[in-house]
Amino acid sequence: MSKTITLSHGNGGEENNELISKVFYKAFKNEILEKSEDAAVIQNGTLAFSTDSFTVSPIIFPGADIGKLAVCGTCNDLAMMGAKPKYLTCSVILEEGFEMRTLERIVNSMKKELEINGAVVVSGDTKVVPKGSVDKIFINTTGIGEIQKAGISSNNITTEDIIIVSNSIGKHGATIFASREGIELSSNLKSDCASLWPIVEKLIQNDINITALRDATRGGVSAVLNEWAKQSDVCIEIEEKEVPICDEVNGICELLGFEALSLANEGTFVLAIKQEDAQKALEVLHGCENSKEAKIIGKVTQQYEKRVILNSAWGTKRFLETPTGELLPRIC
């Protein structure tokens, strides 16, 4: 552990994992927390509970804004546990001088996304701090959802599962970077930010045998797969040529040396599904607006312990590691 906090401690990668495990988990250790799921399962498995804070810069970007992101982020974490979002809290820290018109736009974005999820804000808090004490606006949302399908867990993945990604990857991270750095693209690249509960609900309604779901936010698909491999003590093998990546994201990655699998997403999730339900799951996903590009990208094996292998189109293999260092701070 370093002696001071760096931006890399918030990137969703190795440093972030170390900070959580050696500081927060050490202090708050309990059986629920140690499961390391997207949301805590409480009340004898009937409820899911999650919280998240949002500090994205810029606060408005192609495809979304910090308000939409705040509702999607918490509702999506609940959805990843098979829970229908029901109740949210909303706490806001505002910088002195923040424009009221911008605040109203952000709140209206939150309202729209709440309606998509069928959830309501039932409590909150507002603080205003002197100019320079915070960057415009920070939002925290906490959510409670009713579990509609029990047993979804990243600790239960086995060699009977295949790995699916719901959408082309890296759009949110690439969009935030381009917006932040003023890179003008002659394309329609925008964040994939979207509510995932409507998709998960359709999977549940179609009796898909779901083992695990995970929202691929900070650290991207790479972070999710490595967490799963360690939690379930398995090896996950990914076929590089099967991973859906749009041309715009590929271009930004080639230009700046990024790894698309490590870029953040805000409306894309990874699924571990029993092999016999794989095609049925794809049919359901392809019928939803925000998962039309869903693909099977890999399988679970026992070739190595707790590792992720990337099989290239040229027949070579390499370990896909958990992201490290400062990639893109403040992407959510």
Domains of the chain (ranges plus CATH)? 7-147 (3.30.1330.10), 161-319 (3.90.650.10)
Nearest to 246 by CA among 264, 260, 225: 260
| pLDDT for 166 | 98
| pLDDT for 185 | 67
Q: Could you tell me if 87 and 129 are in contact, meaning their C-beta atoms sit under 8 angstroms apart?
A: no
Q: Could you tell me if 320 and 222 are in contact, meaning their C-beta atoms sit under 8 angstroms apart?
A: yes
**Which two three-digit tokens encode residue 82?**
């098979």
Q: Which helix (H) or strand (E) holds 214?
A: strand 210-215
CA distance 91 to 138: 8
Q: Could you tell me if 143 and 81 are in contact, meaning their C-beta atoms sit under 8 angstroms apart?
A: no
Number of residues that make up the chain: 332
On the 0-12 / 13-18 / 19+ scale of CB atoms within 10 A, 90 is buried
Nearest to 300 by CA among 262, 280, 268, 272: 272
CA distance 33 to 24: 10
CA distance 11 to 27: 21
277 phi and psi angles, rounded to 5 deg? -105, 5
pTM higher than 0.85: yes
CA distance 142 to 74: 6
Give, in degrees to the nearest 5, the angle at Cα 134 between 133 and 136: 130
Q: Kindly tell me the sign of the dihedral angle through the C-alpha atoms of 103, 191, 152, 197.
A: positive
What is the residue-averaged pLDDT of the chain? 94
CA distance 225 to 142: 25
| pLDDT for 255 | 85
**3-state SS assignment for residue 199:** helix
Residue ranges for the chain with pLDDT beneath 70: 185-186, 326
**3-state SS assignment for residue 37:** coil
| pLDDT for 233 | 96
Residue with tokens 């399908």: 149
On the 0-12 / 13-18 / 19+ scale of CB atoms within 10 A, 254 is exposed
